[in-house]
Amino acid sequence: MKLLVLLAILLLIIAAHQLLRIIELSRGLKKTKEWHIDNADNDMHGKGMLIFMICFFVFFFWQVNQYIDRSLPPSGAEHGYKIDALWDANMYLCIVIFLICNFFLFGFAYKYRGNTANKATFFPHSNKLEMIWTIIPAIALAFIIIFGLKYWNEIMDEAHDPNKVTIELYAKQFAWTARYTGKDGKLGNTDYRQIAGANDLGIDSMDASGNDDVLAHNEFHLPVNREVEIFMRSRDVIHSAFMPHFRAQMNCVPGMITTFKFKPIFTTAEMRKIPYVINLMAGINKQRAKFGKEPVEFDYLLLCNKICGRNHYNMQMNIIIDTEKDYNQWLAKQKAFKTIASK
């Protein structure tokens, strides 16, 4: 089979070479020089531009239709719908501009194709045109900026819910650790000089509020419909806590603490029942089956979105969104830092 493919490629190369030879020989039969372009050539090129424009637009909409069902599922966080609305508004605006600009680009290439009967008009400047293509983009950009700032201020506001869940995400090459407040509702202080052995996060042994903190390594759980306040820090290089299904991302920077808040609105089990997610996972598992891999279920993911080293691609962690009851049961089974450190 491989030999046949190679022979077919070789024959195509030979055929293309012979075709170029025929074109080169045919030039000698023309009465005009080969660099001379006549009205027929210009007309052909102009019509070719129109044909290319039509094919280009058809290909664009085909791609949209082909891949639209492979985008992210509905947002699992309350603020995510604002992010999606901002994204959609920008995409619709870009698509409209893309279609208009390319229509005129190829349309003018056809309309003003070369013709010996036409004479070009000298048109060096127009204040009216300058105003039009300055004011219209300024209005569009102002809309995008105002729209974005409004949502940004709402999303990045401090957490005010007294019933909020407070956790810390600690990043290092190449793993995540989630730390929960204990019964005292406070995260213990940290000191990088105390990173050793079981104290992987450098929790300050002199701060009693850190003794009941709970650590989670392989996955971490959050309750649905409760505000989650996340503090983030890094041990070594800049990482980026990226939770695509919650439309959330924040850099984890060595030497400083960053923060983000959101409210999950679908449990993991509820998200798995959404028709879009079912179809999405069916497509993914179909591809996995081709490579002999086991099918997987949908899971919320925490990823690193900064290239942080050779194993960056493998730095991820599952996020499980539970009902309040299931979350409390899971949290009650976790061991406190004091218990882990004493071993």
Whether residue 292 lies inside any domain: the answer is yes
Whether residue 209 lies inside any domain: the answer is yes
The answer on 176 and 138 residing in a single domain is: no
Contact assessment for residue 234 and residue 254, using Cβ atoms and an 8 Å cutoff: yes
The answer on 101 and 200 residing in a single domain is: no
Does the pLDDT of residue 274 top 70, yes or no? yes
The answer on 151 and 197 residing in a single domain is: no
pTM of the entire predicted model: 0.78
User: What share of the chain has pLDDT > 70, as a percent?
Assistant: 95
Range 307-312 average pLDDT: 91
The answer on 271 and 228 residing in a single domain is: yes
**Which residue range(s) make up the domain with 181?**
165-341
Name, in order, each residue with C-beta under 8 angstroms of 323's C-beta and a sequence gap of 6 or more: 223, 224, 267
The answer on 187 and 79 residing in a single domain is: no
Whether residue 200 lies inside any domain: the answer is yes
Q: How many domains does the chain have?
A: 2
The answer on 304 and 261 residing in a single domain is: yes
Whether residue 3 lies inside any domain: the answer is no
Q: Residue with structure tokens 């819910």?
A: 161
Instruction: Write out pLDDT tens, residues 106-159.
Output: 999 998 888 888 887 888 888 988 999 899 889 888 988 998 898 888 888 888
Quote the mean pLDDT of the chain: 88
Q: Report the CATH number that the domain containing residue 328 is assigned in CATH.
A: 2.60.40.420
The answer on 82 and 228 residing in a single domain is: no
The answer on 208 and 187 residing in a single domain is: yes
